[in-house]
């Protein structure tokens, strides 16, 4: 096992020891519970039945909201009471791959943040420029050893996609700072 | 006779140079998507859906169906060469596919998988040609109560059969239903959960949700678990090498598994909610149980690859039956296809085949032609697609995010939808991480409006009484099916034990027969030596 693998494995194993109520899954389910509670509360502001006796706009949301709340609460209790080892659910395909490369929450957060910047700048900078900036930043972060390849991909791909969606299919991508072509 | 007439008309509709090109492009794109790490057929379909906006529905569905089959097979290439299934339906292909590649038999494994996929796809197309009109004629008699129950039954099957945590599966479906309630209530015209936003009046489109959950969500999850650090150990495959083609023994060993896998896969796939993953795993277990040499399974048995491959492709055809006849998607990929139907102005449901025969039969016809195309592309382009599988995730990840963002923007030119897509990407990551089921969410999102509408109509017919579900014959049958489905997890262990005992008995009998044959052969050899 390489040093990266060893560190990664250690890092991964150390995550399961937190008490049930502060584990990531519990936090996620609590957030979901809050969202569903707000959803259900709003559903009760909608009519259950119309004046004509038909089902109202609140009928379906109330059923969905209450059932959702019940299931989330049940899952939450199960998650808090479950042993730490069961905190992580591994998908079927993950089990097949043999490498444990650790968990990378910081990198994940950076990718989400970069995607948000991409979203915010998409209209103002345009599809080509904002895509190129996003690609340059992320490729520099993930694929540092291949600078030339990164630049080629960051410039070539947005241009190719623009030609496909805008020039060929006339799909209406934002032009931003560059003129439309 | 109608079937042949309709099928002939469908084939004629598809056999235009433009559609043939779309078929070829679809197969190629599908295979590219399938071999990309972290992308499966559902993500591929969702991302490529915007490309079909400007096409006529028949051309669009021909291309997307080809993407669907192509992506299914693309996953096999990575399963065999790098032990990484593109999606769960090809997990079973790694069990013996990768050991075959390790033994230097990657070429025969991939060609045999392609042949198995072709046979299963063609068997599936023949079966769907017969089953779809029959099911459609039954479904045409369904009223709103039956339609509502079919939707619930489909979701119930998905939650029960797919396995994992059923509670979280049901919760995922409810989140999908909740998202589906955003927008104008059809019955009263009142706005729900729009928060005054004009963009949300028409509801949350399912395309950004599907692209986010399957595309961005997968990428985020792969990145989180270190996909960018992965050093892929892969096997080279070249059509020019001597050992590229399967030998007679391979064909002989695979014939039975392919035949069994094709039939099993079709019927499992046609069950709403079951699908290709269940079919391929069932086929693997079946083949291992009835094999004369079960000890070879997991070590490179051709039957262990050919059976699940056939089953997974036949299931893809089978999944089209509930899609075309009931408007019920049985899997995440078919949920994306049904979203496409709506986008092209078609109304999925029991009347789809009746009202749009050229479209429905064009789709069925494209399965016949698509399978031939897939076989040719598969066999001659395996080495080229294998090289795509070697593009590392650290480059592909950001590229796929850009494709998802620009693809979503092109749907309605809405930046809000891009935001929804990214938010769903983050949700998809957490759903995968904590065992929720993104497929159930997307299917519920697609079916939500149909469920609400059919329930509303049902209660209008009955004057607000739920007794209507107990009074109608077909509803009673569907309710009974739901009870069976709910009881299945309780009876599951017993059924599993009984079926594995029965299969083990068949396998033992086959092995005994083989021993008798071998002993008889040895005796003959001894006699010959003795007489000499």
Interface subset of B 150-209, CB within 8 angstroms of A: 164-165, 167-168, 170-171, 174-175, 177-178, 181, 185, 187-188, 190, 192-193
Say what the pLDDT of residue B498 is.
64
Which of A103-117, B131-145, B273-287, B315-329 ranks highest by mean pLDDT? A103-117
Judged against a pLDDT cut of 90, whether residue B531 lies above it is answered with no
Q: Which residue has the higher pLDDT, B266 or B485?
A: B266
Cα→Cα distances B470→B155, B474, B475, B482, Å:
20, 9, 7, 13
Q: Which of B398, B413, B419, B427 to mutate to test the interface with A (most CBs of A within 10 A)?
A: B398
Instruction: Give the integer Cα–Cα distance in Å for B188 and A54.
Output: 10
Say what the pLDDT of residue B500 is.
63
Domain boundaries, chain A: 3-96, 105-168
Judged against a pLDDT cut of 90, whether residue B511 lies above it is answered with no
Closest C-alpha among B398, B37, B34 to residue A153: B398
Give B289-318 pLDDT, tens digit per residue: 888 888 888 888 899 999 999 998 888 888
Say what the pLDDT of residue B532 is.
40
Share of chain B above pLDDT 70, in %: 86
Say what the pLDDT of residue B405 is.
92
> pLDDT digit of tens for each residue in chain A (181 aa)?
333 444 444 444 444 456 666 788 899 999 999 999 999 999 999 988 888 778 889 999 999 999 999 999 999 998 888 765 554 444 444 444 445 677 888 999 999 999 999 999 999 999 999 999 999 999 999 988 889 999 999 999 999 988 888 887 777 788 888 887 7
Say what the pLDDT of residue A33 is.
96
Q: Is the CA virtual torsion B254, B255, B257, B259 positive or negative?
A: positive
Say what the pLDDT of residue B505 is.
63
- Closest to B220 (Cβ–Cβ): which among A108, A122, A127? A108
Which residues lie across from B171 on neighbouring strands? none
Concatenated DSSP letters of B279-330: HHHHHHHHHHHH-S-GGGTTS--HHHHHHHHHHHHHHHHHTHHHHHHT----
Closest C-alpha among B27, B122, B134, B53 to residue B364: B122
Say what the pLDDT of residue A159 is.
93
Q: Which residue has the higher pLDDT, B471 or B235?
A: B471
* Residue B181 tokens, joined: 């309630």
Say whether residue A122 is in contact with chain B using an 8 A CB cutoff. yes
Concatenated DSSP letters of B18-72: HHHHHHHHHHHHHHHHHHSTT--HHHHHHHHGGGGTTS-HHHHHHHHHHHHHHHH
Contact between residue B180 and residue B444 where contact means Cβ atoms under 8 Å apart? yes
Q: Which of A9, A107, A115, A159 to mutate to test the interface with B (most CBs of B within 10 A)?
A: A115
Give B426-469 pLDDT, tens digit per residue: 999 999 888 888 888 988 888 888 888 888 889 888 888 888 88
Helix (H, G, I), strand (E, B) or coil at B89: helix
Number of domains within chain B: 1
Give me the long-range contacts of B471-476 (CB less than 8 A, separation at least 24). Answer: B472/B143, B472/B145, B472/B146, B474/B141, B474/B142, B474/B146, B475/B145, B475/B146, B475/B149
Closest C-alpha among B180, B254, B197, B192 to residue B447: B180
Instruction: Give the integer Cα–Cα distance in Å for A129 and A126.
Output: 6
Pick from A139-148, B146-155, B380-389: least confident: B380-389
Give B199-258 pLDDT, tens digit per residue: 888 889 888 898 898 889 988 988 998 877 776 666 666 666 667 788 888 888 889 999
Helix or strand (DSSP H, E) at B167: helix B166-180
Residue A109: partners with Cβ closer than 8 Å, 6 or more residues away: none
Q: Which residue has the higher pLDDT, B180 or B41?
A: B180
User: Which chain B positions have a beta carbon within 8 Å of A1's beta carbon?
Assistant: none
Instruction: Give the integer Cα–Cα distance in Å for B423 and B481.
Output: 37
> Range of B474's domain?
2-531
Say whether residue B461 is in contact with chain A using an 8 A CB cutoff. no
Judged against a pLDDT cut of 80, whether residue B85 lies above it is answered with no
Say what the pLDDT of residue B238 is.
67
Residue of A nearest to B399 (CA): A135
Say what the pLDDT of residue B193 is.
93
Say whether residue A57 is in contact with chain B using an 8 A CB cutoff. yes
Say what the pLDDT of residue B164 is.
62
Judged against a pLDDT cut of 70, whether residue B345 lies above it is answered with yes
Pick from B111-125, B257-271, B318-332, B420-434: least confident: B318-332
Helix (H, G, I), strand (E, B) or coil at B192: strand
């Amino acid at each position: 096992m390489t040093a990266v693998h060893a560190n990664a494995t250690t890092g991964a194993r150390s995550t399961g020891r937190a008490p049930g109520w502060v584990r990531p899954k519990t936090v996620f389910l609590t957030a979901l519970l809050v969202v569903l509670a707000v959803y259900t509360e709003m559903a009760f502001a909608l009519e259950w039945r119309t004046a004509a006796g038909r089902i109202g706009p609140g009928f379906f949301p109330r059923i969905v909201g209450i059932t959702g709340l019940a299931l989330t609460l049940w899952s939450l209790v199960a998650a808090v009471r479950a042993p730490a080892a069961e905190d992580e659910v591994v998908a079927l395909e993950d089990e097949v791959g043999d490498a444990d490369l650790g968990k990378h929450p910081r990198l994940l957060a950076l990718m989400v943040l970069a995607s948000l910047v991409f979203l915010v700048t998409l209209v103002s900078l345009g599809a080509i420029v904002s895509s190129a900036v996003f690609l340059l930043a992320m490729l520099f972060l993930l694929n540092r050893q291949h600078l030339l390849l990164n630049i080629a991909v960051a410039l070539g791909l947005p241009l190719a996609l623009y030609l496909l969606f805008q020039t060929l299919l006339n799909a209406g991508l934002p032009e931003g700072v560059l003129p439309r072509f | 006779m109608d079937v042949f007439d309709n099928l002939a008309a469908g084939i004629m509709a598809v056999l235009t140079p433009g559609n043939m090109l779309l078929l070829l492009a679809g197969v190629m794109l599908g295979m590219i998507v399938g071999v990309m790490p972290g992308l499966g057929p559902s993500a591929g379909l969702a991302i490529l859906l915007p490309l079909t906006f400007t096409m006529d529905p028949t051309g669009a569905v021909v291309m997307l169906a080809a993407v669907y089959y192509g992506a299914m097979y693309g996953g096999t290439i990575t399963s065999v060469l790098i032990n990484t299934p593109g999606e769960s339906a090809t997990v079973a292909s790694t069990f013996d596919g990768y050991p075959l590649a390790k033994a230097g038999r990657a070429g025969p494994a991939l060609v045999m998988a392609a042949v198995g996929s072709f046979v299963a796809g063609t068997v599936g197309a023949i079966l769907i040609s017969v089953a779809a009109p029959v099911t459609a004629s039954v479904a045409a008699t369904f009223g709103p109560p039956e339609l509502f129950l079919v939707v619930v039954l489909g979701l119930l099957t998905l939650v029960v059969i797919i396995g994992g945590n059923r509670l979280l599966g049901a919760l995922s479906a409810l989140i999908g239903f909740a998202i589906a309630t955003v927008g104008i209530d059809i019955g009263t015209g009142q706005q729900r959960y729009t928060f005054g936003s004009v963009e949300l009046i028409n509801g949350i489109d399912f395309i950004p949700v599907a692209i986010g959950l399957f595309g961005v969500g997968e990428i985020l999850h792969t990145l989180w678990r270190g996909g960018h650090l992965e050093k892929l150990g892969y096997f080279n495959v070249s059509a020019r090498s001597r050992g590229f083609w399967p030998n007679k023994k391979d064909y002989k060993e695979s014939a039975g598994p392919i035949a069994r896998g094709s039939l099993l896969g079709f019927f499992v796939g046609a069950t709403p909610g079951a699908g290709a993953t269940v079919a391929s795993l069932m086929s693997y277990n079946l083949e291992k149980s009835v094999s004369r040499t079960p000890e070879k399974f997991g070590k490179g048995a051709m039957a262990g690859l050919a059976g699940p491959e056939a089953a997974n492709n036949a299931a893809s055809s089978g999944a089209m039956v509930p899609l075309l006849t009931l408007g019920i998607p049985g899997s995440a990929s078919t949920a994306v296809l049904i979203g496409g139907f709506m986008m092209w102005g078609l109304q999925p449901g029991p009347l789809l085949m009746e009202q749009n025969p050229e479209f429905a039969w064009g789709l069925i016809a494209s399965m016949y032609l698509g399978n031939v195309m897939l076989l040719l592309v598969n066999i001659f382009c395996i080495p080229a697609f294998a090289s795509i599988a070697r593009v590392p995730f650290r480059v592909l990840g950001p590229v796929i995010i850009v494709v998802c963002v620009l693809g979503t923007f092109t749907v309605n030119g809405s930046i809000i939808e891009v935001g929804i897509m990214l938010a769903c990407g983050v949700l998809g990551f957490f759903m995968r991480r904590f065992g929720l089921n993104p497929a159930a969410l997307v299917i519920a999102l697609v079916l939500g409006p149909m469920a609400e509408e059919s329930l509303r109509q049902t209660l209008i017919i009955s004057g607000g009484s739920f007794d209507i579900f107990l009074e109608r014959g077909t509803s009673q049958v569907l309710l009974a099916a739901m009870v069976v489905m709910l009881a299945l997890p309780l009876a599951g262990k017993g059924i599993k034990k009984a079926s594995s005992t029965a299969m083990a008995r068949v396998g033992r009998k086959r092995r005994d027969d083989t021993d008798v044959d071998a002993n008889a052969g040895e005796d003959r050899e001894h006699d010959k030596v003795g007489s000499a």
